[in-house]
Amino acid sequence: MNLLVTAGATREPIDPVRYLTNRSSGKMGYAIASAGAQLGHRVTLISGPTSLDIPSHVDFIPVETAQEMLEAVKLKIGGKDAAIFSAAVADYRPASVSDSKIKKTADALTLELVQNPDILGSARHQFKYDGILVGFAAETENLETNAREKLRQKECDLVVANDISKKGIGFDSDHNEVLLVYPEHTRPIPIDSKERLAHTLLQAIHELKVVGS
Ligand code: PMT
């Protein structure tokens, strides 16, 4: 298969030294990209900044901001059998970026934020992508209901839902525990290493491809 994977956190600059980001380490997405390459798939990995080694035998595209990730996905998604969006994209960015370092003058500072583009939500209509679309859902409550809502809104074939309020899984952990949420059913996957989960997910995607072809 030809796979596209997004991974890691985006960085949204405030000034030349500061940025907004989140706790994504990139481990989940890199595990998927790496498992894909090991299985002989062609993998394009679009990643925000991480401290991880680039997996072998992948087409690696580094990006920083959500806008850059959007442009890279737009350029690369065509013709992919499956697109897997595991990146934690910042939903908001500073409305303006200061050219010089913001000085500590006032007691309080208000930062105005504007919404970033929804990359996963752009796949079907803006990018006209018709392959297997896999989103992630990072939730702290109503895991299955919220994931199912994302599945429907973004027209995904599968949403991988993780409860990021649970200790020992999700952000910056070596393990994860997920629900695979399909349009008609849900399959719980017990806690496992991100490497083994990546293989389970690719098997699930392979099964979707077989059924769809
Ligand atoms: O990187 P790790 O430390 O290994 O952690 C893994 C993880 C917790 C980051 C991963 O398992 C995960 O849950 N990734 C999705 C994080 C997220 O941003 O979820 P969300 O529910 O806010 O977004 C839903 C989906 O839309 C995701 O597929 C996301 O990539 C995508 N999205 C979100 C916002 C946006 N502007 N554009 C997007 O494409």
Report whether residue 85 contacts ligand 1, using a CB cutoff of 6 Å: yes
| Average pLDDT score, the chain | 97
Report whether residue 174 contacts ligand 1, using a CB cutoff of 6 Å: no
**CA of residue 74 to ligand 1 center, whole Å:** 17
Band (pLDDT 50/70/90 cuts) for residue 159 is very high
Alpha helix ranges (H) inside the chain: 27-38, 66-76, 119-122, 143-153, 194-212
Atom of ligand 1 nearest to the CA of 135: 28
Closest CA to 43 of 53, 52, 31: 31
Model confidence pLDDT, tens digit, residues 18-35: 999 999 999 999 999 999
Report whether residue 182 contacts ligand 1, using a CB cutoff of 6 Å: no
Model confidence pLDDT, tens digit, residues 170-200: 999 999 999 999 999 999 999 999 999 999 9
Report whether residue 120 contacts ligand 1, using a CB cutoff of 6 Å: yes
Closest CA to 92 of 52, 65, 57: 65
Residue nearest atom 16 of ligand 1, based on CA coordinates: 88
Domains and CATH numbers, the chain: 2-91+112-212 (3.40.50.10300)
* Whether the predicted pLDDT of 113 surpasses 90: yes
Q: Per-residue pLDDT averaged across 118-141, rounded?
A: 98
Band (pLDDT 50/70/90 cuts) for residue 212 is confident
Band (pLDDT 50/70/90 cuts) for residue 211 is confident
Residue nearest atom 24 of ligand 1, based on CA coordinates: 137
Neighbours of 195 (CB within 10 A): 16
**CA of residue 105 to ligand 1 center, whole Å:** 35
2 in active site: no
Percent of the chain with pLDDT over 90: 96
Closest CA to 160 of 32, 64, 1, 63: 32
Rounded to the nearest 10 degrees, the angle between the axes of helix 27-38 and helix 194-212 is 60
Overall pTM surpassing 0.95 (yes/no): yes
